[in-house]
Amino acid sequence: MKVTAGAMAFMLSWGTGLSVNAQTKTITIYSGRGQKLIEPLLAQAKKDLNLDIQVRYGDTAELAIALLEEGKNSRADLFFAQDAGALGTLETQKRTLPISSNLLNKVDSRFRSPQGQWIGISGRARVINYNTKLVNKNQLPTSISQLTQPQWRGKVAWAPTNGSFHSFVTAMRVLEGNPKTLQWLRAMKANGVKDYRNNTTIVEALGRGEVQLGLVNHYYLPNLKKTNPSLPVAAHYTNKDSGSMINIAGVAIMNSTKQKPEVEKFIGYLLKPSSQTYFAKETNEYPLVKGIPGPANQLPLNKLNPPNVNLTNLNDLPGTLELLQQAGVL
Ligand SMILES: [Fe+2]
């Protein structure tokens, strides 16, 4: 007699007196979100959902490439990405499955795939941080394009190798086209923009007065202010350009999964008020489920003026890297 895996599981469970339904299932997540951040949440989810959760951690863009290479043979059930562009790539390469509408509907349509192929879990806004001692509020630029003006010569910081900077440039390409974006990048170089390793080092440099303005994500400043409340740095949002874009960290169900119901249970878990609040508290990111209070001391999500951009279209990272090279930024 040929014993199928299902029959074997049944026989084993019979032998131990457990019912088949009580068996713990395993899902595998490829996570571009850091281990330190999500491990406590996963530990709780394992208990609450009676689910075993395996994780492969890595850089979001690198994991997206791995998922494309592995194709249907991938052991990943879910991709937890740190930006929408990577999710958009997997969507356009047909590696994702549609998410149930009862989950999708928990989040504003701006923050999920129009085709229902990925969903945002938390929001990450681009922002200009500035040194409050060196810059007068009424001098602040109202658009990113103004940063190429002589008054900002040598006073602006960016992090050209950073993933969130790449998403920002991709958004500019989507909103204004390649020629204008290239022109802006070159004008920024010509205006002496200063390169930093990442967003944290930019906010620190702003605190020291080494630069006056910095292009960063919104949550770095509140995170640094936890340990250094007197840091003379504040946040300023431009109006409807890529400088105030809201990106997401979010998830997609991989089409290699055989466990869509368990994966959706887990997505539902990430959208629960307690998980949403966890992200707001731990990272100062914006909860995306309606009615959940935002991070403390941050402008509420509905007070920001982000541009209208389909986040799935932020998927052309190679095109952005090429443009940055062409401009001499990378
Ligand atoms: Fe970041």
CATH architecture group of domain 124-245+316-326: 3-Layer(aba) Sandwich (3.40)
Cα 164 to averaged position of ligand 1 atoms, centre (Å): 6
Cα 16 to averaged position of ligand 1 atoms, centre (Å): 47
Mean pLDDT of 284-293: 95
Domain ranges of the chain: 5-122+248-293, 124-245+316-326
Strands 194-195 and 156-158, sheet pairing: parallel
Question: What pLDDT, in 10s, does the model give residues 101-117?
Answer: 999 999 999 999 999 99
Cα–Cα distance between 257 and 322 in angstroms, integer?
33
DSSP one-letter code for 158 = E
| 124-245+316-326 has the same fold as 5-122+248-293 | yes
Task: Please give the model's pTM, rounded to 2 decimal places.
Answer: 0.91
Nearest-CA neighbor of 118 among 276, 263, 219, 299? 263
E-assigned strand segments in 148-295: 156-158, 194-195, 213-217, 233-236, 246-254, 286-287
Strands 246-254 and 119-131, sheet pairing: antiparallel
Q: Which pLDDT value is given to residue 217?
A: 97
Cα 216 to averaged position of ligand 1 atoms, centre (Å): 8
Cα 189 to averaged position of ligand 1 atoms, centre (Å): 23
Grade residue 23 by pLDDT with cuts at 50, 70 and 90: confident
Task: Identify the CATH assignment for 5-122+248-293 out of 3.40.630.30, 3.40.1280.10, 3.40.190.10, 3.60.10.10.
Answer: 3.40.190.10
Q: Which pLDDT value is given to residue 22?
A: 60
Cα–Cα distance between 276 and 288 in angstroms, integer?
7
Across 266-302, b (16+ Cβ under 10 Å) vs e yields bbebbbeeebbbbbbebbbbbbbbeebebbeebeebe
